[in-house]
Structure formats: structure tokens, C-alpha cells
Amino acid sequence: MARLDRKTFIASGAAAAVGAFGAPARAAFNDTFISTATIGVVGPFSGDAAKLGEQIANGVRACIYDTNLIRGAMDRVYGLRTFDDENLLANGLLTAQYAVDDGSIDVAIGHLKGTITEQALQTYVNGHLPLIIPASSYDRLTAHGYGGVFRLATKDSTEGNLGGAVVIERVKPKSSVVLYQDGDYGIDVAAGYHDRMLKEKVDSKALKFSFEKPDYAGVSKLTLSANPDVVYLAGTAHDMGPMIKQLRADAYKGPLYASAGMFDGITLEKYKDVAGEIMISSSFPPLNLAPADFHIRQSYEQRYGAMTPLAAYGYAAAQIAISAIKTGAAADRLAAGRALQTSAQYNTIVGPVTFLGTGDTLDPNIYFYTIKDGKWQYVQAAHRSTFVLK
């Protein structure tokens, strides 16, 4: 009886699968073999950051959909599998191992948080599974010299350095103060900015303050005692954002610049009325000024709504993965990894990308936004690009 029940269960499962997805590929295509390639997306799909993980995954899904839609008879069919790390450090290593152990995964895209990604790097390297990091700017991700690890976003120290160059160009300051906290994010951005100021002979002060117990009033007083021509905020909107209100309350009327951690809806929601003409940098280009992206964005928005930066990075990461698999005629993850390690240029939704041997991009750039009428308004790039019209 037990054997009969098991056969019945298997048979009913097979019937359900056919009902849900249609007949098996070989029968559906006149017994022609259909080659597949699967991309793994590792990130938070439950917990507080689940919406952010879904944005990355939706970008990957959209790219796979667009690719499969125009595939030829002999082209591969691409698929996606998600692995949930809940955006928790303890789960990062575990989910990375799950992705590595899944032999169908040719390229992995993830994680969301930089410290989690760093913890998992060795797992991907040991498993020969190439990893494309879509959005984390955490410096240490490409500091280990691992092969098979690639990052799309401009790393923190480079962002700070490029941001400093724009401040020099626009403000021409004689003195500057950069603020950062003793948490995970901000120190590398601040270091890059501070170094650029010193190189340009600007009197620069870098002030660190507590992440756990921030004394915004005390930090503001210390900042203003330096009589800065410009203040740069290297932090997140949640933790550094209150400095905007404090500085303005203490009568600072000078220019404010900030790093990508402030390019967040929280800044619009809480500080748009006091921020003034704040300039906030991001690796994310203004897609409305990139004509080549119009049809991709239109197709995405019909299925998922407005394309967020994380969704765009997810889409770009999938474009790179698929292009490498196609170009390298990759039969498995080893071939995909070899193809990714060439110096090819990938044309993506966030611009042309070529990776250095370190895994960072060859020509990093950042884009500056300010707040106007309660919305982000694009101002300029750190350096001109043929990708963006302005």
C-alpha cells in the first residue's frame, strides 16, 4: 500500500507540473534538446529588507524575460533561482553554500549588504561560482584579490575621491569638513574625499562620531568651529540625515554634499525642506537621460512599476551574466567565469561596463542629484559620459 501511495504521489506531482508549465521541453519542441542556463540571486527575500531583495530579483527576472522573448531556436533558455539570506550575517555563508551546491547555477548575483557579501566571498571562490555584486559599494569586496568576483557600483573610496573633485570644481573651497560615523558605512567614502581635499591643498578635517549614540548637536558645533566652506556627509539617510537639520538649525548656510547612502527616500521625506540645494552622489545614472534604455524601462514598468536603482542594477548584472554565457559559449560555471574574466565591454542598462582584474569597473563614475519640488533632480556626472545625454 505504501508503494502504491508513493507512485500515486509521484504521478500526481508530474501531472501538476505539466499542468502548470506545459508539456516537457523535448515533447514541446519536437524532441529538440533545449539548453538552459540558470542565474542564482542571493539576497533578502524575507525579513525587513525583503522588498529590497525583490527589487534586485525583479530586475534579473525582467532581463531574463526580455532575453528569452527574442531567443532563437538554438539559443539557451535562461532561468532564475533565488536564495534567501534574510540580510543577516549568520545566513550569508549558508545561503552562499546552497547556491554553490546547486549545480544548475552558472552565475550568482548578490548579496545586498556588503559585510554579508564579504563573508561569503570565499565560498563562491572555492565553489568556482562567479559572483556579480549588483549594488554594494563596500571597499573590501574587491580588496582580497579573488578571481571571479565582480562589482557594478563604484566603490566607496572612489566615490569619495570623485565627489571631492566635483566639490573642488563647483565650490572651490579653502576649508572643508567631512563627517562620518564609526559604523559599517562611511569611513571609506570619507577617506577618499579627505584624501582628494588634501591633494588639492584644501584645509580638510575628517570628524568621526558615534553610530550607536550620536551627539548631533555636539558634532555640529565642532564642525562649524572649523568655519568650513563646504560640509560633506559620508553616511546613510537614516543615521547621518539628522545632521542636515542640526547644521541648518545652527545657522550653517553653506553648501552640503553627501554620499550615496543619502540618496534615499528618507532624505526626501524628512529633510527636503531644510536641505537646501544639497548635492548627493550615486553610482546610479539618470536613466531618463539614457535613450538606449527607454524600451527596457517601459517593458519593466508594465510588469513591476517604476524601476528602482536596485532593480536597474539587478537587470544590468543579469545582462552581464547572460552576455558572458553567450559570448563564452559557457557550458557550465567554469566557462562562465572564464568569459567574465576577459576584458570585454558589456553594454548594460546602467551604462557600458568593463571589469578590471580587481573586479571593479574600468571607468567608475558617480552622478549628482539635488532636491527640487520634493523630488530628485539630476545635476551632473563626475565626468562626462556618452551614455548620459547631459
pTM of the model: 0.89
* 269 and 167 in a common domain: yes
* 375 and 336 in a common domain: no
Domain-located, residue 16 = no
Domain-located, residue 21 = no
Per run of 10 residues, the mean pLDDT along the chain (length 390 residues) is: 36 34 37 76 97 98 96 87 96 97 96 97 97 97 96 98 98 98 96 98 98 97 98 97 97 97 96 95 94 92 95 98 82 88 91 95 97 95 86
Domain residue limits at 321: 36-154+290-353
* 202 and 74 in a common domain: no
Domain-located, residue 240 = yes
* 175 and 143 in a common domain: no
User: What confidence score (pLDDT) does residue 9 get?
Assistant: 30
* 148 and 178 in a common domain: no
CA-based R_g, the chain, Å: 23
* 371 and 245 in a common domain: yes
Buried b (16+ CB within 10 A) or exposed e, 40-64: bbbbbbeeebeebbbbbbbbbbbbb
* 275 and 168 in a common domain: yes
Q: Would you call the peptide bond into 383 cis, given omega within 30 degrees of 0 as the criterion?
A: no
User: What confidence score (pLDDT) does residue 24 get?
Assistant: 38
* 184 and 100 in a common domain: no
User: What confidence score (pLDDT) does residue 8 get?
Assistant: 34
User: What confidence score (pLDDT) does residue 72 get?
Assistant: 81
CATH of the domain at 75: 3.40.50.2300
Domain-located, residue 390 = no
* 331 and 269 in a common domain: no
Domain-located, residue 24 = no
Percent share of the chain, pLDDT over 70: 91
User: What confidence score (pLDDT) does residue 123 get?
Assistant: 98
* 235 and 161 in a common domain: yes
96-to-68, 104, 292, 297 alpha-carbon distances in Å? 26, 14, 34, 30
Q: In total, how many domains does the chain have?
A: 2
